[in-house]
Amino acid sequence: METLTFRFEHGQRRLKATSELVGVVSSGNLEVLIENAVLNGACAIEVKTAARGFGAIWEAVMQDFQQRWQLADTRISINDMGATPAVVSLRLDQAVEAMVEEDR
């Protein structure tokens, strides 16, 4: 297992005060737990992945994600079993969409 952490400061978008879980920890898949957290406007992401040595790709996927959503005060925790970057992006978007739904 490998643990990766990312933190993006100065987000704009705040989410509802609950938490949501999307996805399943199965082969080629991952679960994303997204929570509202007091982080001084930042978005903090912790990834635990079974596939070692892909830190640079994770970082690129996370930067794209934060650029899309500009999240503030959000904690994201991921348990990964070798999901591809496209699956990771889809799950992250699914998680955020579950959290913004009620604001619409």
Q: Are strands 74-80 and 43-49 parallel, antiparallel or unpaired?
A: parallel
Query: Is residue 34 classed as helix, strand or coil in its secondary structure?
Result: strand
Options 5-13, 39-47, 48-56, 64-72: segment touching another protein (CB under 8 A): 48-56
Options 5-13, 22-30, 59-67, 86-94: segment touching another protein (CB under 8 A): 22-30
DSSP symbol at 89: H
Q: Map the footprint of another protein across residues 55-84, applying CB under 8 A.
A: 77, 79-81
Closest CA to 66 of 27, 104, 12: 12
Residues that bind another protein (CB under 8 A): 1, 19, 21, 24-26, 29, 31, 33, 35, 48-50, 77, 79-81
